[in-house]
Amino acid sequence: MIPEFGQFALVVALVSALIQSTLPFIGAAKNIPAWISVARPAAQAQFISLAVSFACLVYVFIQNDFSVLYAAQNSNTKLPIEFRISAVWGAHEGSLLLWALTLGTWTYAVSVFSKKIPDVMIARVLGVMGIISIGFILFILMTSNPFARIFPVPIEGRDLNPLLQDFGLIIHPPMLYMGYVGLSVAFAFAIAAMLAGRLDAAWARWSRPWTSIAWVFLTIGIALGSWWAYYELGWGGWWFWDPVENASFMPWLVATALIHSLAATEKRGVFKAWTVLLAVFAFSLSLLGTFLVRSGVLTSVHSFASDPERGLFILIFLILVVGSSLVLYAWRAPAIKSTSKFKFISKETALLLNNVLLVVAAGTILLGTLYPLVIDALSLGKISVGPPYFNSVFVPIMVPLVALMAIGVLIRWKEDNLQRMKKHLLTYFVISLALGLLGTWMMPSFTFSAVIAITLAWWVVLNMSYHFMLRFKNKAVSWQGLKTIPRAIYGMHIAHIGIAVFTIGVTLTSVYSTEKDVMLTPGESYSLAGYDFKFSGSNKIVGPNYQGERGHVTVTQDGNVIAKLEPEKRIYTVQRSPMTEAAIDAGITRDLFVAMGEPRGKDGGWALRLYHKPFIRWIWLGSLIMGFGGLLAATDKRYRKAK
């Protein structure tokens, strides 16, 4: 009964979404207050129905009800309870339901935290979100019903893909979806503003906190995904420029641009049309990402469940949503007038440059991601575009972007002159360069990439700190003074420092990582980057739903024991797939990483992969700092008051 109830709840959610996206629109157009006021209750009813439906599916998995096809395909009685719950979103049907629930959650949040925004506006915003919801719920009901039954009922389920039996996967998809789907709020605000024909600064102010929160989720979600790939795939890599990773990174880049252009639109009334277009782009890229992941048009290490017929549905949906938004844009945007002017040397110009660089970066990634499709569509063969392309186009865009960030923070709105800043910029640059050279000198070898990265990172940090301290001009720094500074200011500085930390992490890891595949018999050791890895054999292990071997590696440096690492090689019983569980000794300045390859010979020897990864933690640390900065900015007092 529970599965049928879950399906019924989904139908109720669809009906609520239909009401949510019809009556309020008509009400807003014809000015009928009663119809406008339907928006909030309908949105809340939709959210509750989706939550009930999702809870039913979780219940099916916890109860091991294998009469439900989706549970039979993705779960197993021997699967530990936490993975039985995360298996709910481990494959196509469930992850779509999670998508819909996430959208429902955002819709609910908008309906609750928007008391100060005029009802007419909220009616339209919720209406737009309702339309998106209709698309996804219909998609689930028509092509991907997670509650479908099978007969005869299998005694045992086929188990969850072992790659996904991991803590990282429990939280990575919900976080990422919160980010992806959260961009629908900014999108809905932009569409609502265009429908109302009121593209003033007000819509920008309303959508800023929402966009920032979505961006925080997206940042953390992507970082988690990268961390998961690092320790779970056993290749020691943290980013593969895989189509699915790109699908999450493109919306992030555009959302980052959007955050900056929203600031310019709200504060100075410039770039209005562009900001609207960015809001449309950001969410369109989320939808495109969903299409790429779910349709299987591109092969990827992530395509655990993809299906071309389902792809067609998403594509048609994409055309309807994005196509109509762009038509609306073509119709409304020409009427937008900028209300203020700015000189060439100004914060407006800096933000414009920031936007151009970020959008160009997103564009080059889009090109690289879709290029194999273009070649295939033109019947020119099969190719795949790999890291060499992405690294060689992406890095040259990021270097000026980070430099611009360091300078941009100091520039004033409307009009400024470089003479004023020249002294500071130069002084800090010289200090940064010295620190960059010093930092690189401490590395195993001299490389220009390291000098550039460390110098730029310090330049950003110094300029950010200087800019922050300007608030205390002529005043002593005091606790009282620190408390009066708005959170948004803290957030902006912290997020940018996060970028500096991230830059150092990425560069030093890429340049100075060492790795080696070695064959070791028990008692043998191998030396890598000054660390001795001694292999002392392996033993058999039996887990709840797998069997395997656990290796024992002791790492010493100059005779001192640094870490005892126990990598595992598992064979999951049901799907019979081998899995590598890497063992990692994490540290601020370096990670030591051991993964087991294959057994060799009769005397207990193993092929082992050893990695030394300097500063890799800084990549995720930087992302967390960015996220924290975003969170501070999004929860600034002026937004909280506006509730």
Partner 1 sequence: MLKLKFILPLIAFALLVTLLFVGLSNDPRRVPSPLVGKSAPAFELPRLQDPDVTFSPEMLKGEVWLLNIWASWCRGCQVEHPLLNELAKQKLVSIVGLNYKDTNAEAKAWLAKLGNPYRLVVTDQKGLVGFDYGVYGVPETFFIDKKGIIRYKHIGPINYKDLTEKLIPLIKALKAEP
| Binding residues for partner 1 (CB under 8 A) | 158, 273, 277, 280-281, 284, 291, 295-299, 308, 311-312, 315, 318-319, 322-323, 326-327, 329-331, 333-335, 370, 372-374, 376-377, 382, 575-578, 598-599
| 581 bridge partner residues | 568
3-state secondary structure 602-635: CCCEEEEEEEEEECCHHHHHHHHHHHHHHHHHHC
Residue among 258, 292, 290, 288 nearest 275 (CA): 258
- The Cα–Cα gap between 9 and 433 comes to 61
Q: How far is the CB of 253 from partner 1 (least distance, A)?
A: 17
Task: Tell me whether residue 256 or residue 369 sits nearer to partner 1 (CB atom).
Answer: 369
Q: Least distance to partner 1 from the beta carbon of 539, Å?
A: 18
Q: How far is the CB of 276 from partner 1 (least distance, A)?
A: 10
Task: Give the shortest CB-290-to-partner 1 separation in angstroms.
Answer: 12
The residue among 305 and 497 lying less far from partner 1, judged by its C-beta, is: 305
Q: In sequence order, what DSSP letters do the residues of 183-244 get, joined into one string?
A: HHHHHHHHHHHHHHT--SHHHHHHHHHHHHHHHHHHHHHHHHHHHHHHHHSSS--S----HH
* Smallest distance from partner 1 to CB 64, Å: 20
Distance CA 314, CA 43 (A): 23
User: Is 334 or 388 the residue whose CB approaches partner 1 more closely?
Assistant: 334
Report the residue number, 162 or 436, with the smaller CB distance to partner 1.
Answer: 162
Q: Is 397 helix (H, G, I), strand (E, B) or coil?
A: helix
How far is it, in rounded angstroms, from Cα 592 to Cα 515? Answer: 10
Among the listed residues 61, 16, 60, 56, the one whose alpha carbon sits nearest the alpha carbon of residue 40: 16
Query: Which residue, among 155, 236, 80, 270, has the nearest Cα to 593 in the 3D structure?
Result: 236
Minimum distance of partner 1 from residue 612's CB (angstroms): 23
CB of residue 387 vs partner 1: minimum separation in angstroms? 19
Of the pair 67, 577, the CB lying nearest partner 1 is at 577
DSSP 544: S
Question: For partner 1, which is the closer residue by CB, 9 or 370?
Answer: 370
Nearer to partner 1, 156 or 598 (CB): 598
Minimum Å gap between C-beta 356 and partner 1 is 15
Nearer CB in complex with partner 1: 53/303: 303
- Outline where DSSP puts E strands in 262-302: none
In angstroms, the CA 5 to CA 58 distance is 13
In the complex, what is the shortest distance from the CB of residue 437 to partner 1, in angstroms, rounded to a whole number?
Answer: 43
* Spatial CB neighbours of 208, under 8 Å, sequence gap ≥ 6: 259, 262, 263, 266, 634, 639
CB of 411 to partner 1, least distance (A): 27
Q: How far is CA 155 from the centre of its chain?
A: 38
As a residue count, the chain comes to 643
Strand, helix or coil at 571? strand
Side chain identity at residue 545, one-letter code: N
Coil, strand or helix: which one is 436?
helix
Q: Cα–Cα distance between 291 and 317 in angstroms, integer?
A: 10
Cβ distance to partner 1 smaller for residue 167 or 371: 371
| Nearer to partner 1 among residue 450 and residue 579 (C-beta) | 579
